[in-house]
Amino acid sequence: MTSIKLCVAGATGRMGSTLIREAITRGFKITGAIAAKDDPNVNKTLREAGICDLNVKIVDPSRIMEAAKEADVYISFTTPEAEVVNIPIVADLGKKIVMGTTGFTEEQMRKIRDAVSNKVPAVFSPNFAIGINILFNLLRMIKMFPAEYDVSIIEMHHSGKKDAPSGTAKKMGEIIAEAKGYTSVTYGREGISVRKPGELEILAVRAGGIPGVHEVIIAGPHEIIRIEHTAFSRSVFAQGALYAAEWVYRQDKPGIYSMNDVLGLS
Ligand SMILES: NC(=O)c1ccc[n+]([C@@H]2O[C@H](COP(=O)([O-])OP(=O)(O)OC[C@H]3O[C@@H](n4cnc5c(N)ncnc54)[C@H](OP(=O)(O)O)[C@@H]3O)[C@@H](O)[C@H]2O)c1
């Protein structure tokens, strides 16, 4: 058991609230909770908001310094717009960071990286599930397939997910594109749309409450391989993020790290 102190941003969201409950069962201390300015739970305690049995007050982002003050690690699952504002403040405070938010533009991610990389150790990952991070490494073997084998990605998520394709599918796409030499991505097909050489295919499905399914299809002329990862619940992401928090807590060297570093796979 650990007594690492956490400030959680996006505390009332699907991931933030799951993470808080998981953190408590694992012995972490929650010392701060942040939600969006207009969130109806701002100024309530985590208990009053029905998240867990703690008197920690949920504050809006204008009070981020106060919320993060006592924390060893700041953990965030919010929106790209929120991270661009919040993460530089937290890095200036010298707090270690674990961030799982996805859907950034290149410019937003550049701003965040610039604000963090020389100041504090931080773990950024589009997917904290251990299985997915090992799968990222397995996908590098795709370079062994003959050129005529096509690779496609299908991802499925709940209908409330904002960004598409998922950050995980994008990361898989980067690895596959490097292995196969793909130079373009097609995100769906309609009408006459024959697959071109050099083209990676990524399809996104949004339905019901699916926490996350990613499937990689590798198809040659006479055979198909399908590799699927299914998250049973958000707990898998919460557990991985807490594992990252324990790891980053022990790091002194500023920089942006990945789950490969956390899992010792680099
Ligand atoms: N890396 C991973 O393993 C992983 C796993 C699952 C999800 N994710 C990503 O995590 C992010 C959140 O996902 P989710 O399903 O939890 O979404 P969600 O339920 O919409 O939660 C996001 C929360 O952030 C809050 N928020 C908005 N602006 C904020 C601000 N300025 N400061 C603090 N909090 C703010 C939102 O408040 P309001 O609702 O009041 O606007 C909401 O409660 C997404 O980018 C998703 O793709 C990553």
Quickly state the pLDDT bin for 32 (edges 50, 70, 90): very high
CATH code, domain carrying 118: 3.40.50.720
Number of structural domains the chain divides into = 2
Same domain for 226 and 255: no
Same domain for 79 and 25: yes
Q: Which residue has the tokens 């055979």?
A: 223
Q: What is the DSSP string of 43-102?
A: TSBTTTTTS-S--PBEE-GGGHHHHHTT-SEEEE-S-HHHHHHHHHHHHHTT-EEEE---
Same domain for 192 and 110: no
Alpha carbon distance 76, 142 (integer Å)? 33
Same domain for 103 and 50: yes
Tens-digit pLDDT profile for residues 50-59: 999 999 999 9
Tens-digit pLDDT profile for residues 184-193: 999 999 999 9
Give the active site residue among 96, 161, 170, 171: 161
Quickly state the pLDDT bin for 266 (edges 50, 70, 90): confident
- Sequence-separated (6 or more) residues with CB below 8 Å from residue 108: 80, 81, 83, 84
Instruction: Encode 58-87: b = buried (16+ Cβ within 10 Å), e = exposed.
Output: bbebebbeebbeebbbbbbbbbbebbbebb
Distance 143 CA to ligand 1 centre (A): 35
**Average pLDDT score over the chain:** 97
- Sequence-separated (6 or more) residues with CB below 8 Å from residue 184: 196, 198, 199, 200
* Percentage of residues of the chain with pLDDT beyond 70: 99
Same domain for 192 and 61: no
**Ligand 1, atom 37: closest residue by C-alpha:** 36
Same domain for 50 and 106: yes
Tens-digit pLDDT profile for residues 222-235: 999 999 999 999 99
Res 1 pLDDT > 70: no
Active-site residue flag, 161: yes
Same domain for 206 and 115: no
| Residue 61 and residue 68 in contact, taking contact as beta carbons nearer than 8 Å | no
Ligand 1 atom at shortest distance from the alpha carbon of 102: 45
Res 217 pLDDT > 70: yes
Q: Which residue has the tokens 């990222």?
A: 136
Same domain for 175 and 140: yes
pLDDT of residue 2: 60
Same domain for 245 and 124: yes
Same domain for 135 and 220: yes
Ligand 1 atom at shortest distance from the alpha carbon of 132: 3
- Mean pLDDT score, 229-254: 98
Same domain for 224 and 136: yes
Active-site residue flag, 214: no
Res 138 pLDDT > 90: yes
Tens-digit pLDDT profile for residues 87-132: 999 999 999 999 999 999 999 999 999 999 999 999 999 999 999 9
- The whole domain housing 202 covers 130-230
Quick one: the chain helix, strand, coil %, rounded to 5? 35, 25, 40
Q: Which residue has the tokens 């003959």?
A: 146
Same domain for 245 and 123: yes
Q: Which residue has the tokens 């972490």?
A: 28
pLDDT of residue 162: 97
